[in-house]
Structure 1
Amino acid sequence: MSEKNPRPGTGGERRVPYGDRTGNESIVYFTRDLSASGLRRAYEQVSAHIGGRVAVKLHTGEQHGPNIIPRPWVAELLESDLPDATIVETNSYYAGDRDSTEKHRRTLEVNGWTFAPVDIMDEEGAAPFPVEGGKWFDEVHMGSHLADYDSLLVLTHFKGHTKGGFGGSAKNIGIGCADGKIGKREIHTTPGSDDMWDISNEEFMERMMESAKAVCDHFGDKIAFVNVMRNMSVSCDCEGTAAEPVVTPNVGILASTDILAIDQACVDLVYAMGEEDRYALVERMETRHGLRQLSYMKELGMGNWRYVLVDLDNGGARILPEDAVAHVTPFEG
C-alpha cells in the first residue's frame, strides 16, 4: 500500500454541473421499462465484448432484503442472453449473514439466487490486483476467483449508501469484488486501527475508486455496466430489512461501457428531479461526500463524465442531461 498524502478540497459534497465538465462524451443507454425485457434490452446495447467465461457481479443482498434487483429479471437475462454465466459475490467485511462462505450460501438460498451458479470469489482466499496511478494503493486484494473469468457484466442496483453516499457500478465492483478479510479492510480501515470503519468521506471514496479501477483495468474492454434505478432507498442492500423506506421515485435502467459515465448519469437523473423527490438521496450523497466517487474516477482516467443519454424508448433520441427527468415516466411503479 502506498503512503501518499491526500489532496484537500476535492469537493465530494458538491455536484459538478454538466456545463462545467470538460472532455469527451460517452454513450449511456436509457429505458424507462423497469421489467425483465427492459433489463435485457439495456444489456444488449453493451454486450458486444461480453463472452468467454462470463461473471455477473450483482448485490444479492442480506436475507429478505426488499429492494434488490428482482430475481426473475436476472433469471430471464441469464437464461436468454447469458446461459453459461456465473453470478459472482464476495463475503462481507462486517458481521452478519454473509461474513462467511457457509452463511453467505445460506443467505443466497433464502433470497432465491438458486437459478444459476454463484461463485463466492473469496471462498479460497484473496489475490492482489494492481492499481495503476493510485494515491492510496499499489494493489488491492480481490476474491481470488475473479481472475478465472474472461469478461464481467456489472449489474447494479443504484441506491444510497450509509458510508458511500450512493452505490453505483463503481461501488459494486470496488467493494463487491474485494475479498472480505483483506481487500475490504484495505479500503475501510487504516492499517493498525481498531476501528474497522475509521476511513470515511473522501478518502474512503478514493480508496473505493482505486479498487474499482483495478477491476476495470483487469478486464479492459471486456466489461459492461447496467444500473437499475428502482427502489432507491438511501440505504444499501447490505442493510436488508433495516433499510430506510424508499421515498425517491423510480427512474429506469441505464447501460454503458463507461463506468464513470453511467454512475454520473444516474446521479444527474436524481439531481434533475424536483426538490421533494430528490431531497433524501441528494442529502445522503452530499453529507457523505459521495460525489467524490465521480471526480476521482475522472482524475484516475476511468471514463468520461460527459455523456450522450440515448433514449431506447424513443428511437434512440438524445436526451439532454438537464432535461432528463422531464422524459422519465417509468412503466412500473
Structure 2
Amino acid sequence: MEKSKVYFTRDISPAGLKKVYGALNVCLKGKVAVKISTGEPGGHNFLSPDLIKDLVQELNGTIVECNTAYEGRRNTSSAHWETFKAHGFQEVAPCDILDEEEDMAIPVKNGRHLKENFVGARLKNYDSMLILSHFKGHAMGGFGGALKNMSIGVASSRGKIWIHTSATSWKFDDLFTADHDSFLESMAEADQSVMEFLGRENLAYINVANKLSVDCDCDAHPHDPEMADIGIFASLDPVAVDQASVDAVYASSDPGKAALIERMESRNGIHTVEAAAALGLGSREYDLISLDE
C-alpha cells in the first residue's frame, strides 16, 4: 500500500484546526456528523467547544456521540444530554446521541472476532463523518485516537460491550474478560464496518494531541498530563493518522513522554493500528506534511 498523507500543525487553535482540515482537500457531503467524545463530568481534558466550534460550524455539522456502557454521567441519554449541555457543546452546534432510541447491526466483513457491529441507529441519518479525536492515553486501549473514536465511540452502549468482549458476551460484568489482543483486534474490525457503512470517501480524521494525559476523557478523574502538547494531525487514513500521532510521542524531546509511552506499551496499544492495517483500512507508512513551514 502506498504512503498516506498526514498533515500536521503545532497550532492548536480554531484556526489551526481549520487549516489542517482544509489541507485534506475533501468535501464531506450531505448531512455531516462530527464524532467527538463529550468527556465524563469531572474530567477536564476533552476537546474544548471553543476549539472545535469554527470547524464544526463551517461543516454545518452535527456533534454526535453514543452512550457509554459503564456507570457514569453518560450511560443514559438523559444524563448524557446534561453532559452535552454542561460541557458547552450544545452552544456550538446541533448535537445528537446516535443510540438514544435504539441501535442497529452493521456487517463486519471477514472479521476474526466480529461478524457484526452494533452502532447507534441514527448513524443512518448521516451521509459523512469527521472523526474528531482527542489523542491521549487510555486505560485499556493504551491510547485513544481515530481508530478508537470510530469503533468504541460509534458503537452503541451494548455494542461497546460486544467489542470489549470480542463478541462473546452482552454482559457488562464480562467487559474485561476477553483476551486483550482480541479486544484490540475487535476495535479494528468495528472500524472496518463503520468505514464500509458510510463509505471510505465520506470519512475524514483529525487527532488533536493536546492535554496528553495517560487517561481517557471517559475518566472522571484523569491523571494530569506529564508532557507538553504536540499539535494537530489530519488525514483521510485512520491508520496513518494514529500511527503519526504515536510516532510523534516517541519523537518528542519532552521527558514527560515516558508516562504516556509506558501506558501505550503496557497495553500493546499499537496492536489496534497493526490490526487495522492488516484489514486494509489504511497504511502505517505515511508522509508527514507540516503546514507550519
Bin for the TM-score computed over the shorter chain: over 0.9
Q: 1:192 to 1:178 in 2, by over 3 A?
A: closer
CA distance in structure 2 between the partners assigned to 1:111 and 1:177 by the alignment: 20
106, 110, 114: which one aligns with 1:133? 110
The code of the aligned residue for 2:45 comes to N
The one-letter code sitting in structure 1 at the alignment partner of 2:138 is H
Q: 1:120 aligns with which of 94, 97, 116?
A: 97
What residue identity is the alignment partner of 1:48?
V
**Which residue is 1:111 aligned to?**
87
List alignment gaps of at least 5 residues for structure 1. Answer: 1-22, 315-333
Match in the other structure for 1:57: 35
- Alignment pair present for 1:249 and 2:225: no
What's the CA shift for 1:89? Answer: 0.3
Q: CA deviation at 1:289?
A: 1.1
Given the alignment, which residue of 39, 42, 60 partners 2:17? 39
CA distance in 1, matches of 2:240, 2:265: 19
Per the TM alignment, residue 200 of structure 1 is displaced from its structure 2 partner at its CA by 4.8
Query: Do residues 300 (structure 1) and 276 (structure 2) align?
Result: no
- Structure 1 equivalent of residue 144 of structure 2: 167
Instruction: Answer yes or no: is the 8 Å Cα contact 1:140–1:178 preserved in 2.
Output: yes
Structure with the greater alpha carbon radius of gyration: 1
Q: Distance in 1 between matches of 2:98 and 2:25?
A: 23
* Count of aligned positions: 288
In the alignment, the residues of structure 2 paired with residue 94 and residue 256 of structure 1 have an alpha-carbon distance, to the nearest angstrom, of: 31
CA offsets 1:21-70 (integer angstroms, 9 cap, x no match) = xx420000000101110011111122523020000000111114211111
Matched, 1:262 2:238: no
User: 2:228·2:254 contact (CA, 8 Å) conserved in 1?
Assistant: no
Does the 8 Å CA contact 2:161/2:170 hold for their aligned counterparts?
Answer: no
Runs of 4+ displaced beyond 3 Å:
none
Q: Which residue of 2 aligns with 1:76?
A: 54
Q: 1: distance between equivalents of 2:25 and 2:52?
A: 15
Structure 2 letter corresponding to 1:154: I
Q: Select the residue among 134, 152, 160 that pairs with 1:184.
A: 160
Q: 1:5: which partner in 2?
A: none
Distance (Å, rounded) in 2 between the aligned partners of 1:160 and 1:201: 16
Q: Quote the sequence identity (%).
A: 41
- Which residue among 67, 71, 77 is the counterpart of 1:101? 77
Cα deviation for residue 192 of structure 1 reads 6.8
CA contact (8 A) 1:163 1:200 kept: no
268-277 or 302-311, which deviates more = 268-277
- Compute the displacement of 1:169 (Å): 0.2
CA displacement, residues 155-176 of structure 1 (integer Å, 9 cap, x when unaligned) = 0000000010000100001001
Paired position in structure 2 for 1:236: 216
2:148 paired with 1:148 = no
- Which secondary structure state, in structure 1, belongs to the residue aligned with residue 256 of structure 2? helix
- What TM-score do you get using the length of structure 2 for normalisation? 0.95
1:66 and 1:151 map into 2 onto residues whose CA distance is 28
Q: Secondary structure at the match of 1:33?
A: coil
TM-score under structure 1 length normalisation: 0.84
